[in-house]
Structure 1
Amino acid sequence: MKRLFTFFLMLVAVAQAYGQTTSVSGSVQSAADNTALPGANVVLTRTSDATKSVTATDGEGRFRFERVAQGQYTLEINYIGFQNFSRKVQVAGKPVELGQLMLQDGATAIKEVQIIGRAPLGEQKGDTSQFNAKAFKTAPDASAEDLVTKMPGVTVQDGKIQAQGEDVQQVMIDGKRYTGEDVNSAVRNLSADMVESVQVFDGQSDRASFSGFDDGNRVKTLNFVTKKELRHGYAGKASAGYGTDDRYMVGASVNYFKGDQRITLTGLTNNINMFDFSIGETPGGGMRGRRGWGGGSPDGIIKTNTFGLNYNDNWGKKMEVGGNYNYSGRDVVNNQYRFRDYVNSDTSYTENSLNQDISDSHRFNFRLQYNINENNRLLVTPRLTVERTQSFTSRNATTNAEGNELSNSLNSDDTDNASLYFSNNILFSHRFGDSGRILTTELNTSYNSTEGDTYQLEDTRNLVEPERDVTRNQYLNLDRSNLAWSGNLDYSQRLGEQSRLQLEYNIRNQQNDADRRTYDYVESENAYNDFNSPLSNTFQSDYLAQSFGPSYQFRSDKANLQLNARYQYATLQGERIFPEDYTLKRSFTNVLPSAEYEYKFSKSRNLRINFRTSTDVPSVEQLQNVLNISNPLQPRIGNPSLDQEYQNRLYMRFRNFNAETNQVFYMGIFGTMTQNYITNSIYTRDIPFELPESYTYRPGARFYRPVNLDGYWSVRSFFNYGQPVNFISSNFNMHGSVGYSRTPGMIDELINYANNTNFRLGLNISSNISEKVDFNVFTNGSYNIVKNTLRTNQNSNYYNHSTNLRLNTILWKGLVYRTELRHEYNSGLSAGVDNSYVLWNMSLGKKIFKNQRGEISLSVNDLLKQNVSINRNIASDYVEDVQSTVLQRYFMLTFTYNLRKFFSGEAPDMEDEGGRGQWRGRH
Structure 2
Amino acid sequence: MKRLTLLILLMLAAALPAAFSQTPSARLQGTVLDSLNRLPVVGAYISVTRNVPDAKPEYVTTDADGRFVFTGLAKDASYLVKISYLSYRDKSTTVTITQDVQDLGTFRLSEAIANLKEVKVVGQVTPMEQKGDTTQFNAAAFKTNPDATTEDLIQKMPGITVTNGTVTAHGETVNKVLVDGKPFFGDDAALTLKSLPAEVVEKIEVFDKLSDQAQFTGFDDGNAQKTINIVTKADRRTGQFGKVYAGYGLDNRYQAGGNVSYFKGDQRISVIGLSNNINMQNFSSQDLLGVSGSTGGGRGSAGGGASNNFLIGNQSGITGTNSFGLNYANKFGKKVDVSGSYFFNRTGNTNIQRTAQEYFLSGNTSNQFYDEDSRTSSTNLNHRLNFRVEYNINPKNSLIFTPRLSFQDNKSGSTREGFTALANGNLLNSSDNTQTNKNKGYNFGNDILFRHSFDKKGRTLSVNLNTQVNDRNGTRNLYSRNLYYDPLILSDTAVRGDTIDQRTYNSSNGVTLGGNVIYTEPISKTGQLQFNYGLTLSNSNSDKGTYNMSFDDNAYTSLDTLLSNTFDNRYVTQRAGVGYRYRKNSWSANLGMDFQNTGLYSQQLFPGDAKVDQTFTNFLPNLMLSYRSKTGSQFRAFFRSATNQPSITQLQNVVDNSNPLALTAGNPDLKQEYRNTLNVRYSLAGASRPYSFNAMVFVTQTNHAIVNSTYIAQEPTTLPGGIVLEQGAKLTAPVNVDGSWNARTFVAYGKPVAPLKLNLNVTTGFNYVRSPGLINNVPNFSNTYAISQGLVLSSNVSDKLDFTLSYSGNYNVVRNTIQPNFNNNYYTQGIAGRVNWIFGKGFVLQSDISNQSYRGLGAGYNQNFTLWNASIGKKFLKNNAGELKLTVFDILKQNNSISRNVTETYVQDVTNRVLTQYAMLTFTYTLRNFGKMPVRQDEGGFRRRDLEGGGFPGRERGPGF
Q: So what's the TM-score if we normalise by structure 1?
A: 0.88
User: Secondary structure of 2:608's partner?
Assistant: coil
Which ranges in structure 2 are unaligned for 5 or more consecutive residues?
1-27, 50-58, 71-75, 97-101, 284-295, 302-309, 488-493, 935-961
2:235 matches 1:235: no
> Which residue number in structure 2 is paired with residue 341 of structure 1?
358
Q: Given that residues 323 and 366 in structure 1 are in contact (C-alpha distance below 8 angstroms), is that contact kept between their aligned partners in structure 2?
A: yes
> Which residue number in structure 1 is paired with residue 10 of structure 2?
none
Seen in structure 2, the aligned counterparts of structure 1 residues 564 and 87 have a Cα distance that, compared at 3 Å, is farther
Q: Which moved more, 1:685-694 or 1:618-627?
A: 685-694
**Among residues 478, 484, 493, which one is paired with 2:521 in the alignment?**
493
User: Secondary structure of 2:663's partner?
Assistant: coil
Seen in structure 2, the aligned counterparts of structure 1 residues 83 and 615 have a Cα distance that, compared at 3 Å, is farther
Give 1:523-538 correspondences, 5 Å limit: 523-538=551-566
* Percent identical: 40
> Which residue number in structure 1 is paired with residue 881 of structure 2?
853
**Among residues 421, 441, 445, which one is paired with 1:419 in the alignment?**
441
1:680-716 CA distances to partner (integer Å, 9 max, x unpaired)? 1111248999736663433211111110000001110
Q: Given that residues 632 and 698 in structure 1 are in contact (C-alpha distance below 8 angstroms), is that contact kept between their aligned partners in structure 2?
A: no
Seen in structure 2, the aligned counterparts of structure 1 residues 113 and 60 have a Cα distance that, compared at 3 Å, is closer
| Superposition deviation, residue 579 in structure 1 | 2.4
| Superposition deviation, residue 162 in structure 1 | 1.5
AA partner of residue 281 (structure 2): F
| Superposition deviation, residue 575 in structure 1 | 0.8
User: Secondary structure of 1:140's partner?
Assistant: coil
| Superposition deviation, residue 659 in structure 1 | 2.6
Q: Distance in 1 between matches of 2:126 and 2:30?
A: 29
Q: Given that residues 861 and 888 in structure 1 are in contact (C-alpha distance below 8 angstroms), is that contact kept between their aligned partners in structure 2?
A: yes
2:224 matches 1:218: yes
1:251-307 CA distances to partner (integer Å, 9 max, x unpaired)? 010121111122111001110111139xxxxxxxxx999999955764211110000
Seen in structure 2, the aligned counterparts of structure 1 residues 500 and 336 have a Cα distance that, compared at 3 Å, is same
2:172 matches 1:172: no
> Which residue number in structure 2 is paired with residue 801 of structure 1?
829
**Among residues 293, 310, 316, which one is paired with 2:327 in the alignment?**
310
Q: Taking CA–CA contacts closer than 8 Å with sequence separation of 6 or more, which of the two structures ends up with the larger relative contact order?
A: 2
> Which residue number in structure 2 is paired with residue 912 of structure 1?
none
> Which residue number in structure 2 is paired with residue 198 of structure 1?
204
> Which residue number in structure 2 is paired with residue 779 of structure 1?
807
**Among residues 397, 414, 417, which one is paired with 1:393 in the alignment?**
414
AA partner of residue 627 (structure 2): Y
1:663-690 CA distances to partner (integer Å, 9 max, x unpaired)? 1011110000000000011112489997
Q: Given that residues 297 and 318 in structure 2 are in contact (C-alpha distance below 8 angstroms), is that contact kept between their aligned partners in structure 1?
A: no
2:374 matches 1:353: yes
Seen in structure 2, the aligned counterparts of structure 1 residues 766 and 780 have a Cα distance that, compared at 3 Å, is same
AA partner of residue 545 (structure 1): T
| Superposition deviation, residue 160 in structure 1 | 2.1
2:673 matches 1:645: yes
Seen in structure 2, the aligned counterparts of structure 1 residues 290 and 230 have a Cα distance that, compared at 3 Å, is farther
Q: Distance in 2 between matches of 1:77 and 1:324?
A: 42
**Among residues 262, 267, 270, which one is paired with 1:256 in the alignment?**
262
2:394 matches 1:373: yes
Give 1:906-917 correspondences, 5 Å limit: none
1:582-602 CA distances to partner (integer Å, 9 max, x unpaired)? 011000000000000011233
Count of matched residue positions in the alignment of Structure 1 and Structure 2: 861
2:489 matches 1:461: no
1:438-461 CA distances to partner (integer Å, 9 max, x unpaired)? 001000001001011111111001
Q: Distance in 2 between matches of 1:511 and 1:118?
A: 59
Q: Given that residues 138 and 204 in structure 2 are in contact (C-alpha distance below 8 angstroms), is that contact kept between their aligned partners in structure 1?
A: yes
1:476-533 CA distances to partner (integer Å, 9 max, x unpaired)? 0011001001111000011111110000101112111100011111122121111111
Q: Given that residues 750 and 759 in structure 2 are in contact (C-alpha distance below 8 angstroms), is that contact kept between their aligned partners in structure 1?
A: yes
Q: Given that residues 755 and 787 in structure 1 are in contact (C-alpha distance below 8 angstroms), is that contact kept between their aligned partners in structure 2?
A: yes
Q: Given that residues 126 and 141 in structure 2 are in contact (C-alpha distance below 8 angstroms), is that contact kept between their aligned partners in structure 1?
A: yes
User: Secondary structure of 2:465's partner?
Assistant: strand
**Among residues 712, 718, 735, which one is paired with 2:740 in the alignment?**
712
Q: Distance in 2 between matches of 1:116 and 1:211?
A: 38
Which ranges in structure 1 are unaligned for 5 or more consecutive residues?
1-23, 46-53, 66-70, 91-95, 278-286, 907-923
AA partner of residue 315 (structure 1): F
Q: Distance in 1 between matches of 2:576 and 2:813?
A: 43
Seen in structure 2, the aligned counterparts of structure 1 residues 59 and 378 have a Cα distance that, compared at 3 Å, is farther
Q: Given that residues 290 and 297 in structure 1 are in contact (C-alpha distance below 8 angstroms), is that contact kept between their aligned partners in structure 2?
A: no
**Among residues 315, 338, 345, which one is paired with 1:321 in the alignment?**
338
Q: Distance in 2 between matches of 1:186 and 1:433?
A: 40
**Among residues 349, 353, 367, which one is paired with 1:332 in the alignment?**
349
> Which residue number in structure 1 is paired with residue 608 of structure 2?
580
Q: Given that residues 527 and 583 in structure 2 are in contact (C-alpha distance below 8 angstroms), is that contact kept between their aligned partners in structure 1?
A: yes
Q: Given that residues 33 and 41 in structure 2 are in contact (C-alpha distance below 8 angstroms), is that contact kept between their aligned partners in structure 1?
A: yes
Q: Distance in 2 between matches of 1:609 and 1:682?
A: 38
Give 1:539-550 correspondences, 5 Å limit: 539-550=567-578
| Superposition deviation, residue 62 in structure 1 | 8.4
> Which residue number in structure 2 is paired with residue 19 of structure 1?
none
> Which residue number in structure 1 is paired with residue 34 of structure 2?
30
Q: Distance in 2 between matches of 1:714 and 1:743?
A: 8
| Superposition deviation, residue 107 in structure 1 | 7.9
Q: Given that residues 276 and 289 in structure 1 are in contact (C-alpha distance below 8 angstroms), is that contact kept between their aligned partners in structure 2?
A: no
2:277 matches 1:271: yes
> Which residue number in structure 2 is paired with residue 451 of structure 1?
473
User: Secondary structure of 1:784's partner?
Assistant: strand
| Superposition deviation, residue 880 in structure 1 | 0.6
Q: Which moved more, 1:324-333 or 1:367-376?
A: 367-376
Q: Distance in 1 between matches of 2:410 and 2:314?
A: 22
| Superposition deviation, residue 606 in structure 1 | 1.2
Q: Given that residues 539 and 571 in structure 2 are in contact (C-alpha distance below 8 angstroms), is that contact kept between their aligned partners in structure 1?
A: yes
Q: Distance in 1 between matches of 2:282 and 2:375?
A: 25
2:929 matches 1:886: no
User: Secondary structure of 2:858's partner?
Assistant: coil
2:452 matches 1:430: yes
Q: Give RMSD over aligned pairs.
A: 3.5
> Which residue number in structure 2 is paired with residue 916 of structure 1?
none
Q: Which moved more, 1:659-668 or 1:228-237?
A: 659-668
| Superposition deviation, residue 850 in structure 1 | 1.2
Q: So what's the TM-score if we normalise by structure 2?
A: 0.84
> Which residue number in structure 1 is paired with residue 427 of structure 2?
405
Q: Distance in 2 between matches of 1:844 and 1:444?
A: 53
User: Secondary structure of 1:534's partner?
Assistant: helix
Give 1:587-598 correspondences, 5 Å limit: 587-598=615-626
2:160 matches 1:148: no
